[in-house]
Chains A and B, each alone.
Chain A
């Protein structure tokens, strides 16, 4: 399977008016092959959303890519002209945001907001755009004229997220990035949306980069998982292997938390991770997880570990060399 996406040594910095420079991504390296589904696991502030917005070049005004490259099918995206980036967004790469309610224009009909994307990227007249839109709405479970002519405020949270998914997939992009697509939804709606994403992804052979803070959500959809902490990927590999034998102490802690949740042995102390999440503007010199790590070694406080590769798995921890 030929490579689809390669991210090499990606650094992104936010310059905040008062707090000076904050580095959200501090050297991220990973690849994706066509048709693959990769999960990004990390807690708030680890840089996972920044990664999602950096790839299609949708960084907010205050942020900038300071180093590294993002290559989509051998084509370098970093530093690309805005016009060329625009032709890629929507046709090649699509980003699904977290808040379905806010991602839709409140004064435009649903059908129009999908047909616009088709007309922006695909040849053909309005008629074919409308046909494709109706067909796509059908596939996401919003059939018929009623939904085509509906306005966003007339739909429920779950239905709005289905429209956003329709927008993302209507031009059959090669890569869809989904940033916590279901975190604001009800748990039952969430499982419906996740299964919809799974079926459509397989039917349309679209590669998916799914971002979540909940390992269980990734388990249902992803082949590979990247675990992020303080702007770096601390561990990555095939999901089932990583979940069964996690190597990095942070991954172990996260997964044991989820495991104890699932075993349900009732009101006993939870294996919480001590300490506080990292403050990106004042990171320690050594490994950023060192202050909270139960298996810290001497070297951990001195410098950051390099990434050690072994088969399909990589980990960034002195326990395994680095």
Chain B
């Protein structure tokens, strides 16, 4: 258990670090929310100064940071100037939508990556293995930005799938089943793009991990004991490869989150991505920080899940001795 407590502590520390980092960067920013207003001649200096005081923008950094922490504790996650409401209301819905996308994408990409990776490792030498390798490297070379645009263009021109957005206009009137179908139809395109964007990298790492384990001495020994190949692959090789694979899980969550931001913007999926972009253009300081910290929360949560899986899968960690 000590290991998990340590990892939890580490996660909280990192989250705190990210929030400090964001505030430090925000302090460096020359312009701020009121920058546009200043340019407009008809607004007097006094009103701008009053606005600054009201939003607390004129206070020194530590105070601003302390007030932000208080609002996080209260659950507001900071205050949005543009929408004039606590950030939580805005970010909550968006975060859920992003999670919907990324969780399905993580699940699907790992569901495909493990069997494909194991198969590729097993057929390493055959022509099928080489063809598969070439396929993944081409797919790897197509950035998810391009993938999203191509798929969207196909959807728009063929009208097979809804061209972006999360729900169709008449979503409210649909039956629960109808709602689900509509939502899935809308989710299909972004999820496929995100999965195709990260799958090749994952498969390649799974294959590499499997290959490394497959020529380990204890696999030769297992074959030397006459164990059936099925056992050697799934009872000896895969569990031993679990450790490197699980530590890869955290990394895959990071790449998926990054890919989802871009796909959300392109396919106008109302997630954290578009919200962050909007906040940036509006220079809505606390909304930007809220979105960034939330994205880190997801990644850190992903890493914690990885640590949990690692603790369960690898006895060397469970029993503490190195």
| Residues in chain A within 8 A of chain B (CB atoms) | 56, 58, 86-91, 94-95, 97, 99, 102-109, 116-117, 120-121, 151, 153-154, 164, 167
Smallest CB separation, A103 vs chain B (Å): 4
Smallest CB separation, A54 vs chain B (Å): 13
Partner of B218, one of A95, A103, A117, A121: A103
- Please list the 10 inter-chain residue pairs (A to B) with the smallest Cβ-Cβ separation, ordered nearest first: A90-B226, A102-B217, A89-B226, A90-B225, A103-B221, A151-B315, A117-B225, A105-B218, A86-B226, A107-B239
Set of chain B residues within 8 Å of A102, measured between Cβ atoms: 216-218
Task: Closest B residue to A170 by CB, please name it.
Answer: B225
- CB <8 Å contact, A154 and B226: no
Partner of A167, one of B225, B236, B242, B319: B225
- CB <8 Å contact, B314 and A107: yes
- CB <8 Å contact, A116 and B231: yes
Set of chain B residues within 8 Å of A109, measured between Cβ atoms: 315
- CB <8 Å contact, B225 and A89: yes
Set of chain A residues within 8 Å of B239, measured between Cβ atoms: 105, 107-108
Q: In the complex, A310 Cα to B318 Cα: how many Å?
A: 61
Smallest CB separation, B177 vs chain A (Å): 44
Task: Closest A residue to B238 by CB, please name it.
Answer: A107
Q: In the complex, A87 Cα to B226 Cα: how many Å?
A: 6
Set of chain A residues within 8 Å of B231, measured between Cβ atoms: 116, 120
Is B95 among interface residues, defined by CB-CB distance under 8 A? no
Q: Given the known A-B contacts A105-B236, A107-B315, are A58 and B227 also in contact in the complex, defined by CB atoms under 8 Å? A: no
Enumerate 14 A-B pairs (CB-CB under 8 Å) in ascending A order: A86-B223, A86-B226, A90-B224, A94-B225, A95-B224, A97-B220, A105-B218, A105-B236, A105-B240, A107-B243, A107-B314, A116-B235, A153-B321, A167-B225
Q: In the complex, A116 Cα to B314 Cα: how many Å?
A: 20
B109-162 interface with A by 8 A CB criterion: none
Given A94-B224, A106-B316, 18 new contacts (CB under 8 A) = A56-B224, A86-B227, A97-B220, A103-B217, A103-B218, A105-B218, A107-B240, A107-B313, A108-B239, A116-B222, A116-B225, A116-B227, A116-B231, A117-B226, A117-B227, A120-B225, A120-B228, A154-B321
B187-243 interface with A by 8 A CB criterion: 216-218, 220-228, 231, 235-236, 239-240, 242-243
By CB atoms of chain B within 10 A, which of A87, A109, A153 has the most? A153
Q: In the complex, A95 Cα to B218 Cα: how many Å?
A: 12
Set of chain B residues within 8 Å of A121, measured between Cβ atoms: 226
Set of chain A residues within 8 Å of B225, measured between Cβ atoms: 89-90, 94, 116-117, 120, 167
Set of chain B residues within 8 Å of A164, measured between Cβ atoms: 221
Set of chain B residues within 8 Å of A56, measured between Cβ atoms: 224
Q: Given the known A-B contacts A102-B216, A107-B242, are A97 and B227 also in contact in the complex, defined by CB atoms under 8 Å? A: no
Set of chain B residues within 8 Å of A153, measured between Cβ atoms: 315-316, 319, 321
Task: Closest B residue to A103 by CB, please name it.
Answer: B221
Q: In the complex, A58 Cα to B220 Cα: how many Å?
A: 8
Set of chain B residues within 8 Å of A167, measured between Cβ atoms: 221, 225
Q: In the complex, A9 Cα to B226 Cα: how many Å?
A: 26
Q: In the complex, A264 Cα to B92 Cα: how many Å?
A: 83
By CB atoms of chain B within 10 A, which of A89, A106, A167 has the most? A106
Q: In the complex, A92 Cα to B233 Cα: how many Å?
A: 23
Smallest CB separation, B202 vs chain A (Å): 21
Q: In the complex, A164 Cα to B313 Cα: how many Å?
A: 23
- CB <8 Å contact, A106 and B321: no
Q: In the complex, A108 Cα to B226 Cα: how many Å?
A: 17
Q: In the complex, A182 Cα to B223 Cα: how many Å?
A: 22
Q: In the complex, A88 Cα to B226 Cα: how many Å?
A: 7
- CB <8 Å contact, B319 and A154: yes
